[in-house]
């Protein structure tokens, strides 16, 4: 079989082996996909060993995504460059290549829910690694406006400035500030802060959600019900989605990079939701 793995620390709770075994079953491929707990001082060597032993593809998770970016620096996809981190590694022409599939995974999961992003007003909460990973794929949807807000406003403006230096064509679309900058109504509000992990509510103004709006949390829980999604439903968001679909869709993009096969993520998402409940 073809060999794959996910590397992280911790790695115990990763769903990637389950996801990829379901993708492979659908595609009719025989694969072997393992969880690898990698010591903090041994990441680069573990990647090298994996590929020198014939490994076909790696997913990278916390805390190694920046180091994977550094290691694949000579051969990064646009998505990886823009995200500043890598979650997918493979070998091509004897060289290590890196991509980041998180952002396109989230965009495809939003589309799965019947929502077109073209011409929409999108509010992105947070300015850390998770937020940075989705900016380029969001801009490329043709959205009307993308506002990045963060508790530390300077981090949001720095992120927007950096993105615009590379993508000046989005100057009229992309802006940034603190939470106090939020005005008006928004079609899609995405939580890319780690607030849900800490069970904290965010300082969002009332009346934020437009008619037919979506609240999207990158975090997932068994019940599709994070503190941010509760807050959003109470404030009138029409739809509320956690990030389980993002997990499945980022995986399906990695699967495509490695195997050149497109699978249908929807039944896999249904299976995963059942497993969580
Ligand atoms: P990640 O890789 O998950 O994005 P990170 O880079 O540490 O992690 O970023 C965490 C993000 O969550 C930041 O935007 C952080 O805001 P600050 O830059 O002001 O620290 C945000 N965050 C974390 N806890 C938060 C809270 N309780 N309320 C609002 N924002 C929070």
Determine the length of the chain.
Answer: 277
* Of 123, 153, 151, the residue nearest 138 (C-alpha): 123
List pocket residues of ligand 1, CB cut-off 6 Å: 126-131, 150-152, 155, 193-195, 198, 200, 202
| Domains of the chain with bracketed CATH | 2-100+245-276 (3.40.50.10860), 103-242 (3.40.50.720)
For the stretch 156-212, pLDDT in tens is 999 999 999 999 999 999 999 999 999 999 999 999 998 877 877 899 999 999 999
Q: What span, in angstroms and rounded, lies between the C-alpha atoms of 193 and 125?
A: 6
Return the pLDDT at 82: 96
Query: What's the CA-to-centroid distance between 52 and ligand 1, angstroms?
Result: 37
Binned at pLDDT 50, 70 and 90, residue 2 comes out as confident
Q: What is the Å distance from ligand 1's center to 139 Cα?
A: 21
Q: What is the dihedral of CA 265, 266, 272, 275, to 10 degrees?
A: -150
Strand order in the sheet with 95-99: 31-37, 2-8, 57-60, 88-92, 95-99
Question: Which parts are annotated binding residues for NADP(+)?
Answer: 126-130, 150-155, 218, 243
- Give the pLDDT confidence score for residue 79 in this predicted structure: 97
Active site residues: 65
- Could you tell me if 101 and 255 are in contact, meaning their C-beta atoms sit under 8 angstroms apart? no
**Closest to 149 (Cα-Cα) out of 204, 109, 228:** 204
Alpha-carbon dihedral 127, 132, 136, 139, rounded to 10 degrees: -20
Q: Residues near 140 by Cβ (< 8 Å), separated by ≥ 6?
A: none
ipTM, 2 dp: 0.97
Region 233-247: what's the mean pLDDT? 97
Mutate to test the pocket of ligand 1, among 151, 153, 181, 199 (most ligand atoms within 8 A of CB): 151
Using the mean position of ligand 1's atoms as its centre, give its distance from the Cα of residue 152 in Å.
9
Using alpha carbons, list the distances in angstroms from residue 163 to 80, 146, 273. 13, 12, 34
pLDDT at position 196: 75
**Helix pair angle (16-27, 265-276), 10° resolution:** 140
Q: What distance in Å separates the CA atoms of residue 269 and residue 112, rounded to the nearest whole number?
A: 11
pLDDT in tens, 203-236: 999 999 999 999 999 999 999 999 999 999 999 9
pLDDT per position as a tens digit, 38-90: 999 999 999 999 999 999 999 999 999 999 999 999 999 999 999 999 999 99
pTM over 0.80: yes
* Average pLDDT, rounded, for the chain: 96
């Amino acid at each position: 079989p073809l060999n794959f793995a996910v590397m992280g620390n911790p790695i115990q709770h990763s769903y990637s082996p389950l996801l990829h075994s379901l993708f492979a079953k659908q595609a009719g491929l025989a694969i072997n996909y393992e969880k690898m707990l990698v010591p903090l001082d041994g990441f680069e060597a573990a990647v090298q060993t994996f590929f020198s032993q014939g490994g076909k593809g790696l997913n990278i998770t916390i805390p190694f995504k920046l180091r994977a970016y550094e290691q694949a620096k000579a051969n990064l996809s646009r998505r990886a460059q823009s995200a500043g981190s890598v979650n997918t590694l493979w070998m091509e022409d004897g060289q290590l290549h890196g991509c980041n599939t998180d952002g396109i995974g989230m965009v495809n999961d939003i589309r799965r829910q019947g929502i077109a992003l073209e011409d929409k007003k999108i509010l992105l909460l947070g300015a850390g690694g998770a937020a940075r990973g989705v900016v380029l794929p969001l801009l490329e949807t043709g959205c009307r406006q993308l506002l990045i807000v963060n508790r530390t406003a300077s981090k949001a403006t720095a992120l927007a400035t950096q993105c615009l230096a590379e993508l000046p064509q989005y100057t009229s679309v992309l802006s940034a500030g603190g939470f106090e900058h939020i005005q008006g109504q928004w079609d899609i509000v995405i939580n890319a802060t780690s607030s849900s992990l800490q069970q904290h509510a965010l300082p969002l103004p009332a009346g934020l959600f437009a008619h037919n709006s979506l609240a999207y949390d990158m975090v997932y829980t068994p019940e599709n019900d994070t503190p941010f999604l509760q807050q959003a439903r109470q404030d009138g968001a029409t739809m509320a989605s956690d990030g389980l679909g993002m997990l499945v869709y980022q995986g399906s993009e990695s699967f495509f990079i490695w195997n050149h096969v497109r699978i249908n993520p929807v039944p896999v998402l249904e299976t995963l939701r059942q497993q969580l409940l």
